[in-house]
A and B are shown apart, each in its own frame.
Chain A
Amino acid sequence: MLLIPSLKGKTKYSDISTIADSKDFYMPLDAYRNVMTPVVSIGERVKKYQLLAQSEGTFASKLHAPVSGTVTAFFQLNGKQMIHLQNDFLNLETLTFPVEPTGLTKEEFMDVLLDNGIQGAGGSQFPTQLKYNIQDRQIRTVIFNGAECEPYLTSDFVLMREKADELIKAAQVIRTVLNAQKIVFAVERHNIAVRKILLKNASNLGVEIEVKILSDGYPQGGELQLIKSVTGLEIRKGSFPADHGILVNNIGTLWAIYKALFEGRPNIERIITVSGNGCQHLGNYRIKIGTPIIHILRETNNNWNPDLQTIVLGGAMMGKSVESPLVPVHKGSGGLLIMRKTKIEKNNCIKCGLCVDVCPQHLMPLEFVRHNLSSDVPELKKFSLQDCIECGACAYVCPSDVPLMENIFDGKKKLFQ
């Protein structure tokens, strides 16, 4: 696997801090494979935790108000639907009802997840309740993904360090609900410091957990790679891990589950690593979903300067650059990176094969470029473009800066047309 020098040192041991709430919130209505519809109307006053929007069907998702205030508009930002919520700084909350964990059934648990808007915190925003829709499959191993292989991000690490107790309580509930044999916290070697903390908290709580130390490598935290490292099973992309008795949840997701279960609070915030090579006041911040990034930049004494910086939501390897300072934080963003712009020297592919060497899915990324440029869909299929997990490892190592990712995204569009 690819070794990327760790860039976590600067934020790893900073405690989770908070920033003042923003005046404006832009609540993103985009969910996994669908768009939510608002259930509030313009001019309506809402309380913190109140349901703002939802979608139905397989990928049902929900979105809640992070603060109390007034809904002032529905609008589009860079083609994405948003609700504009103006903070009234009164902090009026709806009533919250913690869940009684004993005797919780799988179905009830899935309802808790959906009703609290829990979605994958690792980036995909996959509706978490779907992972638990396992019917009568038996889950043997539940893996909590703390690998955090993205070079700058430390939000999972600090969560495990500071909230180990809460994470383990939630993990125990999940284990009982699923009647799973074991729960495994998987962390990369560079985060080995949390092993002691996790084990100590677990023994205090009388919960049996396993902490699996994985080798450092990118993308160790990719679900399929993680499953292999923990259980030895190599499963194909697109197959359902539950068919193999495995369920994987991200650490950030687990924390959101804790708050839903034990505090009755919907998913309205997350931990975000603010970092990057052009960043001031690096650290891990507790930030509400819908906070526009310009607010975070201001609060951390950074500024919006697209000529000199690239601002990335998510990690440096898989995140997305943002075009507008108003773009809000969503449930899958683990980081906000301020990167200095660098010049890139594009050259022809020199067939060095490095991209093939590092591809975790064992694909031939250079062939995607070749066949996407000639729009040859059968060949793209033959080279298994559908198995690409978009991890960016190939583009990272490419000495010629061949536009691998652009061609992969473009090729996938052609593939799924």
Chain B
Amino acid sequence: MNSNPYIKPRFNGTQMVMLDVIIALMPLIFVGWLAYGTIMLQQICVAIVTGLVSEFLFSSILLKKYNTILDGSAVVTALLLTLTLSPVTPWYILSFGVFSAILFGKIVWGGLGKNRFNPALVGREFMAVFFASVMTSPNIWKTSDLVQTSAPELFPGIDYPYLSDYLNSVIFKTTGAMGEYSILCIALGGLYLLVRNRISWHIPLSLLGTFTLLVGLSGGDGLRYSLGGILLGTIFMATDMPSSPTTGNGKLYYGLMIGIVIFIFLKGGIQYEYMSYSILLLNGFSDQASVVFRPRTWGETLDYKRKTEEIFILTLKILGVAFAVLSLYYYELVNYLVYLYILYIIIKFNFSFSNKVSNAI
């Protein structure tokens, strides 16, 4: 080291951050295994192997960096993507998803940390667009005959079936995506990350708070959503470091806006993709949110009027884009967003990102 400081905390490197995320996902993977046994494990293996191979190949070819598979981010992306999918997703589609996540979600941006969007969610949208017929067929969620351990009756003492079902589903259920089987385990993972200071409380708090509030205010009638899915997205996707804001207030705002956008999308009738659309949408504004909500410099006096204006404009932009996405969804044109994205990112990589690979930011 040639510049101060000359000490560093131990066990704090990027690898440790990634390892902690993997540890936090372990309880979820365990209940997944309980529910679907080797099917779940096979899926995870496919995802991790594809992730590592894609990372190594493309990072070597495009970025000329040969040891990035060691940073652990490929494994995290592979796991996160897998957990948002049905256990019966065909392996080649999963593989394609992980490959797109790594290549188009991360490497073409210049590698770890430089991606604007959450790679796992990018991968997911690629799958939805290029394998639309499989991914949106109702069969993909028909998994009941594969269940290894069915949800036990955990609360036989409670006479209200509705309540006991609900409580059951908090601990263990077998429907939905691979990461949604136990709300308890999601929360456990989140708690671990919080304690280890790998995520901050801002985004989960404001996102869940806003969403609950809106649902409460509207009475919640006719809204069909998966609590597990929202929680999984909140704790593991919305808090993804590279694609979320860096400042405390920025994070609060970001969570708040995701909450609002989820609500808008649900009201607008987006069925499965409300969570990933909302997060991806806000990913696009995360840098702006960081800067607009920049902390007040020590001793500085704030210009509240200007600040309010900036926040107002940013909010308008976000809501505008949200309604635009909603319209595209109605006319079934969301695919084109993905095509546009591919075009954009390839051009950007060729003319800009590839020249800045050695920059740390």
A interface residues, Cβ below 8 angstroms from B: 4-5, 7, 151, 224, 234-237, 239, 310, 312, 314, 316-321, 337, 339, 342, 344-353, 356-357, 360-364, 366-367, 369-370, 373, 383-384, 387, 390, 392, 395-397, 399-403, 405-406, 409
What CA separation (Å) do A383 and B361 show in the bound complex?
Answer: 16
**Contact of B13 with A399 in the complex, beta carbons under 8 Å:** yes
What CA separation (Å) do A387 and B298 show in the bound complex?
Answer: 8
- Contact stretch, chosen from B4-12, B77-85, B134-142: B4-12
- Asked, given contacts A346-B360, A360-B298, whether A318 binds B4 with beta carbons under 8 Å apart, the answer is yes
Q: B71 near A: Cβ within 8 Å?
A: yes
Bitwise, B277-302 to A at CB < 8 A (1) or not (0) is 00000000000001100111111100
Q: B114 near A: Cβ within 8 Å?
A: yes
Number of A-B contacts (CB under 8 A): 160
- Asked, given contacts A345-B14, A373-B359, whether A350 binds B113 with beta carbons under 8 Å apart, the answer is yes
Q: Among B3, B14, B291, B297, point to the contact of A350 (Cβ < 8 A).
A: B14
B interface residues, Cβ below 8 angstroms from A: 1-9, 12-17, 71, 110-114, 200, 241-248, 251, 290-291, 294-300, 356, 359-361
* Main SS at interface, chain B: loop
Q: Among A239, A357, A362, A395, point to the contact of B296 (Cβ < 8 A).
A: A362
**Contact of A383 with B294 in the complex, beta carbons under 8 Å:** yes
CB distance from A302 to the nearest CB of B (A): 16
What CA separation (Å) do A387 and B294 show in the bound complex?
Answer: 14
What CA separation (Å) do A390 and B242 show in the bound complex?
Answer: 25
Q: Among A236, A351, A397, point to the contact of B300 (Cβ < 8 A).
A: A236
- What are the residues of chain B within 8 A of A339 when measuring CB–CB? 6-7
**Contact of B17 with A352 in the complex, beta carbons under 8 Å:** yes
**Contact of B295 with A356 in the complex, beta carbons under 8 Å:** yes
CB distance from A215 to the nearest CB of B (A): 17
What CA separation (Å) do A339 and B5 show in the bound complex?
Answer: 11
- Which one of B248, B295, B297 has the greatest number of beta carbons of chain A within 10 Å? B297
Which residue of A is nearest B67, CB measured? Answer: A345
What CA separation (Å) do A350 and B299 show in the bound complex?
Answer: 29
What CA separation (Å) do A403 and B359 show in the bound complex?
Answer: 10
**Contact of A344 with B113 in the complex, beta carbons under 8 Å:** no
- What are the residues of chain B within 8 A of A384 when measuring CB–CB? 297, 300
**Contact of A347 with B14 in the complex, beta carbons under 8 Å:** yes
**Contact of A321 with B1 in the complex, beta carbons under 8 Å:** yes
Which residue of B is nearest A347, CB measured? Answer: B14
- What are the residues of chain A within 8 A of B15 when measuring CB–CB? 345
- What are the residues of chain A within 8 A of B112 when measuring CB–CB? 347-348, 350
What CA separation (Å) do A4 and B8 show in the bound complex?
Answer: 9
CB distance from A350 to the nearest CB of B (A): 4
- Which one of B110, B356, B359 has the greatest number of beta carbons of chain A within 10 Å? B359
- What are the residues of chain A within 8 A of B12 when measuring CB–CB? 397, 399
What CA separation (Å) do A347 and B242 show in the bound complex?
Answer: 13
CB distance from A389 to the nearest CB of B (A): 9
What CA separation (Å) do A352 and B248 show in the bound complex?
Answer: 11
- What are the residues of chain A within 8 A of B5 when measuring CB–CB? 316-318, 392, 395-396, 405
- Asked, given contacts A317-B7, A353-B246, A400-B360, whether A345 binds B298 with beta carbons under 8 Å apart, the answer is no
**Contact of B9 with A396 in the complex, beta carbons under 8 Å:** yes
CB distance from B69 to the nearest CB of A (A): 13
- Asked, given contacts A349-B360, A402-B361, whether A237 binds B299 with beta carbons under 8 Å apart, the answer is yes
What CA separation (Å) do A400 and B297 show in the bound complex?
Answer: 24
What CA separation (Å) do A397 and B9 show in the bound complex?
Answer: 7
**Contact of A349 with B298 in the complex, beta carbons under 8 Å:** no
**Given contacts A316-B5, A405-B5, could you give 13 more A-B pairs where the C-beta distance is less than 8 Å?**
A236-B297, A236-B298, A312-B4, A314-B4, A339-B7, A345-B14, A349-B113, A363-B295, A364-B291, A373-B359, A387-B298, A395-B3, A396-B7
**Contact of A352 with B246 in the complex, beta carbons under 8 Å:** yes
